[in-house]
Structure 1
């Protein structure tokens, strides 16, 4: 008798930052072992979870794949303080997210960041690049950090499964107007939007949402709904991709 396989989403019990049942430790462990197999440079599995330790082998691998590493500088002391204060403020609103912001992440300043907000790439794990525009206000920085940390966590899943069949690749336009996104890009967009909705809805419930944040909540609800509507029609999603979309829809309602 064949034993049914367990999907990646079932193994980790949900979607990071969305599902109350999600097991972060299982995803962390799976990711470390996957990187060990992919990079095979360290004997200690824990080393694969340190962005400082894996930076050199990741850059070497990415260069062979033609993936550019952004030019960056270190955050200033003032910027680093702003990031830390924003993280504390986020956890005050959503205490169950403390585990997500406990993962080692390197925050770097984009050297060409005058017109950029932020950047992450699952090929450059556990690094968040921040542009000048990320620091325009306290509440905006909080949203940016939620957005990019959502990408970091979903990116760990993406390292092991690309969420869609590349042989059926199609391109989509996000509700913001950004064009030429594949199915994976729409999943990432939908997930970050869902995470920001968790935060802003909690602030609204607590009676501490500002008028600017309320505007963002309104926009992101429409953005999330637009992403999810497209995702529900996609035929190219893998079982992992389908599982992410299904669980997001169950946890964060739209439409």
Structure 2
């Protein structure tokens, strides 16, 4: 299947497009992993995080190691489950996205959270992620956006070979490649959807300043991508989809302010 055919099959982007077909993407990724593994297991086995991580370890040179971590405590697990329930109530169309097979670990560094495309479906949450229910919900959306988007990258990478790493994120973080900028842009769109829905629900936890920040972050990331010459065909297709999202978001904002 070509990148265009893949995008047509999955019907958009995770956490961005309401009609995104998560089941179709998981099926395609399972088949890709099955072909790489050269085995003949039930497809469900290929979408399990430990299987996927081990597959990368055996097939990818210099695959990354897990960062310093531990198991989640009982209290952290309770907070995490409450966050998932709250997200499903707020955004029921995200239920399947939230229920993807994943492993979540407690990160023992100063980072708020961490995922790595080379450690598929493994999420690491730092102490700051548990600071408040809103913080945990956004962080979960953030990292799950990376997890789902990285599944697309397993089929077709977002950048050309030998892509440079001289991109800078709106946050000021340097040394990123085009894939990293695209993943950041996807996270911002996902988190923006979450916070706008939280605001629309009348929640006292909603913060308009966070929405303003995420809108700015998203637009700046998107501008970087639009001007990049190092995106692959898949990367350009996703960027185009994000441009459509940006137009819809601007139109909605104008309507709300009338």
Question: When the two structures are superposed, what TM-score results if normalisation uses the length of structure 2?
Answer: 0.89
Q: Residue 77 in 1 paired to residue 71 in 2? A: no
1:19, 1:247 within 8 Å by CA — same for their partners in 2? no
Instruction: Kindly indicate whether residue 142 of structure 2 is the aligned counterpart of residue 147 of structure 1.
Output: yes
For residues 114-193 of structure 1, the aligned pairs below 5 Å read 115-169=110-164, 171-193=166-188
Residues of 2 paired with 1:54 and 1:182: CA distance?
23
Does 1:106 pair with 2:103?
yes
- Match for 1:44 among 27, 42, 45? 42
Find the residue that maps to 2:25 and give its secondary structure. helix
Contact residue 200 and residue 209 of structure 1 kept, 8 A: no
TM-aligned CA distance change 1:104 to 1:168, over 3 Å: closer
Tell me the SS of whatever aligns to 2:106.
strand
Contact conserved, 1:8 with 1:240, CA < 8 A, in 2? Answer: no
* Structure 1 residue 92: Cα displacement: 1.4
| Counterpart mapping for 1:23-42 below 5 A | 23-41=21-39
Which segment is superposed worse, 17-26 or 101-110? Answer: 17-26
Residue in 2 that maps onto 1:250? 244
Task: Measure, in 2, the Cα distance between the counterparts of 1:135 and 1:77.
Answer: 13
Unaligned runs of 5+ in 2: 251-258
Q: CA deviation at 1:14?
A: 1.1
Aligned twin of 2:12:
14
* TM-score normalised over the length of structure 1: 0.90
Q: Which 4+ runs in 1 deviate beyond 4 A?
A: none
Cα RMSD of the aligned pairs, angstroms, is: 2.1
Quote how far apart the aligned CAs of 1:141 are.
0.7
Q: Shift of the alpha carbon at 1:44?
A: 2.3
C-alpha distance in 2, partners of 1:189/1:171?
Answer: 15
Q: 2:89 corresponds to which residue? A: 92
What's the counterpart of residue 225 of structure 1? 219
- How many residues align? The count is 249
Post-superposition offset of 1:157: 0.6
1:197 aligns to what? 192
Q: CA deviation at 1:30?
A: 0.6
The residue matched to 1:243 in structure 2 has which SS?
A: helix
